[in-house]
A and B are shown apart, each in its own frame.
Chain A
Amino acid sequence: AQSVTQLDSQVPVFEEAPVELRCNYSSSVSVYLFWYVQYPNQGLQLLLKYLSGSTLVKGINGFEAEFNKSQTSFHLRKPSVHISDTAEYFCAVSDRYSGSRLTFGEGTQLTVNP
């Protein structure tokens, strides 16, 4: 069985500051990892994904994440945030046994203040 823990439920930051949203996972097998973003009353949009290979993954809107197998983490980072980055962010995991079914974390609300 897999699980995902997003360590911060809310992250307030100022515009142009760097941000890190933390995600830890638990799984007994190799995993695939995803970050999704959700704007208010909208569906989820994929930001980036780690399947294999390079542990540093670059996504859309200037976001990147680093897969750390020893720490079972997949933290999301952006060097300089904009007001428009205000949204909820979800970390998700799957593996070769769960197929395309994803297990999601509880979400992190990122609020960018002027």
Chain B
Amino acid sequence: DGGITQSPKYLFRKEGQNVTLSCEQNLNHDAMYWYRQDPGQGLRLIYYSQIVNDFQKGDIAEGYSVSREKKESFPLTVTSAQKNPTAFYLCASSRTGDSTEAFFGQGTRLTVV
């Protein structure tokens, strides 16, 4: 089945540690996205990539980094510079161009203690 796989589903880290969230898709989509979800705030765009080896900052990129070395993969690193990293992180992909819908993974819940 085609889809987007995020792993792990739950992740716990100590404060000050970097952590990398995995996102893989086999939909042959060019575009991939990372969103952060907090209660009552909807989804906010962290980073997006429309083609391999290229990515752009979204609305809340500070404290995060990404890479796009392969079309299928778009890992997100939450660095120690992110002041409030505990959240639900969602990865999505889509075809490029306007009017296209995004397909979402099942999410990773990150808790920093």
Contacting residues, chain A, for B109 (C-beta < 8 A): 41
Given contacts A106-B42, A107-B40, contact A99 B98 (CB under 8 A): yes
Chain A interface: which of B12-20, B69-77, B78-86, B100-108?
Answer: B100-108
Query: A79-114 interface mask toward B, CB cutoff 8 Å, 1 = contact, 0 = none?
Result: 000000000001000111111111011110000000
Residue from B92, B103, B104 having most chain A Cβ neighbours under 10 A? B104
Residue of A42, A45, A100, A105 near B98 (CB, 8 A) is A100
Binary interface encoding of chain A residues 34-55 relative to chain B, with 1 for a CB under 8 A from any of its CBs, else 0:
1010000111111001010000
Nearest CB of chain A from residue B5's CB, rounded to whole Å? 11
Contact residue range for chain B? 20 to 34
Number of A-B pairs, beta carbon distance below 8 Å: 71
Contact residue range for chain A? 20 to 34
Pairwise interchain contact B107-A95, C-beta atoms closer than 8 A: no
B101 to chain A: closest CB distance in Å?
A: 5
Closest Cβ neighbor of B48 among chain A residues:
A101
The docked-state distance in angstroms from the alpha carbon of A109 to that of B71 is 34
Residues of A within 8 A of B48 (CB): 101
Q: Given A41-B109, A107-B40, A46–B101 Cβ distance below 8 Å?
A: yes
Taking beta carbons and an 8 Å cutoff, which residues of B are in contact with A? Answer: 4, 6, 9, 31, 33, 35, 40-45, 48, 50, 58, 88, 90, 92, 94-107, 109
8 sampled A-B residue pairs with Cβ under 8 A: A32-B98, A43-B4, A43-B106, A43-B107, A44-B92, A95-B98, A96-B98, A105-B42
Query: 16 additional contacts, CB 8 Å, given A46-B101, A104-B43, A107-B40?
Result: A34-B101, A36-B104, A43-B4, A46-B103, A49-B101, A90-B43, A94-B99, A95-B98, A97-B98, A98-B98, A99-B96, A99-B100, A100-B31, A101-B58, A102-B102, A104-B42
Q: Which A residues contact B (CB, under 8 angstroms)?
A: 4, 6, 9, 32, 34, 36, 41-46, 49, 51, 90, 94-102, 104-107
